[in-house]
């Protein structure tokens, strides 16, 4: 998996999918934040929101913080499993990469 060769087209697709998924998760997170912030009534609510936000920040940074091609296979498998990507969006990757991604999804 670490010695897979990426064509220029695959690199462009990977970057686009990575950026789109990252942005979509951030936008979803911001929408949730706005909704929860509007319902804060106590200091405890505020601190709970802050704690949740910090946890989500760490999760997002962990998930999207390593843009190496050797790691993208794992990330794409995870994103498919989580419902952020569909296998059809990856169909222009070579079969050797898709084999690994399918294994992760299963």
What would the pLDDT profile of 70-95 be if each residue is shown by its tens digit? 899 999 999 999 999 999 999 999 99
Q: What is the domain count for the chain? A: 1
Q: Residue 90 and residue 100: Cα distance in Å, rounded?
A: 12
Kindly state whether residue 1 falls inside one of the protein's structural domains. Answer: no
Q: Residue 2 and residue 39: Cα distance in Å, rounded?
A: 46
Between vectors from CA 86 to CA 82 and to CA 90, what angle results, nearest 5°?
A: 120
pLDDT of residue 53: 94
Kindly state whether residue 20 falls inside one of the protein's structural domains. Answer: yes
Residue 25 has pLDDT above 90, yes or no: yes
pTM: 0.88
Range of the domain at 80: 8-105
Q: Residue 70 and residue 87: Cα distance in Å, rounded?
A: 18
Kindly state whether residue 46 falls inside one of the protein's structural domains. Answer: yes
Q: Rounded to an integer, what is the distance from CA 86 to the centroid of its chain?
A: 12
Per the structure block, which two tokens stand in for 18?
């990575």
Give residue 2's pLDDT band: very low, low, confident or very high (50, 70, 90).
Answer: low
Give residue 48's pLDDT band: very low, low, confident or very high (50, 70, 90).
Answer: very high
Residue 3 has pLDDT above 90, yes or no: no
Kindly state whether residue 100 falls inside one of the protein's structural domains. Answer: yes
Kindly state whether residue 17 falls inside one of the protein's structural domains. Answer: yes
Fill in the DSSP letter of residue 94.
Answer: -
Kindly state whether residue 2 falls inside one of the protein's structural domains. Answer: no
């Amino acid at each position: 998996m670490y010695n897979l060769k990426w064509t220029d087209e695959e690199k462009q697709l990977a970057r686009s999918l990575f950026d789109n998924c990252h942005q979509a998760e951030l936008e979803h997170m911001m929408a949730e934040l706005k909704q929860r912030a509007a319902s804060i009534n106590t200091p405890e609510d505020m601190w709970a929101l802050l704690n949740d936000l910090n946890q989500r920040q760490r999760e997002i940074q962990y998930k999207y913080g390593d843009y190496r091609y050797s790691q993208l296979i794992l990330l794409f498998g995870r994103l498919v499993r989580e419902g952020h990507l569909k296998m059809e969006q990856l169909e222009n990757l070579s079969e050797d990469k898709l084999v690994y991604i399918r294994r992760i999804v299963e």
